[in-house]
Amino acid sequence: MEALLASLDGLRGRAEVNIPKILYRIGEQIMTEAKRQTPVDTGNLRASGHVTQPQWVNTWCYVTLGFGGPAGAGAGQTKPVGYAVFVHENLTARHPVGNAKYLERPMLAWASKLEAKIAADLRAELVRTGA
């Protein structure tokens, strides 16, 4: 029993190391699709898309995806893009490139498969590293 518990504790530790990397990688995949759907005028809005580094809060690990705001200024922007939410929510605007809900749509498309993708990626990583 002690060996089993030690093995499970080791798996937990390895999962805690790999889950942030997996979440960040998936976040980047979602952001790539979101940027494809982002309306383009000057390109500043699309360029402001970002994924935060993974953070642990208690037992939860998360990344945040977003456009505009102060994070946009740190992502190669010279100034924040404060109009991202207006472009995202304006369903009546017609854009030559992109569409409204440019972040929400990719997030919803991933929602049903996110848990399975995280589990599969974690399993593959544990197998790859010999767990």
* C-alpha–C-alpha distance, residues 24 and 27, integer Å: 5
Each residue's pLDDT tens digit, 57-105 = 998 999 999 998 654 444 454 556 789 999 999 999 999 999 999 999 9
Of residues 83 and 11, more confidence is placed in 83
Of 16, 18, 30, which Cα lies nearest the Cα of 129?
18
Cβ contact 83:121 at 8 Å? no
Residue showing tokens 């383009």: 40
- The residues pairing with 49 across neighbouring beta strands, listed in sequence order, are none
Percent of the chain surpassing pLDDT 70: 83
pLDDT at 100: 96
Enter the pTM of the model. Answer: 0.82
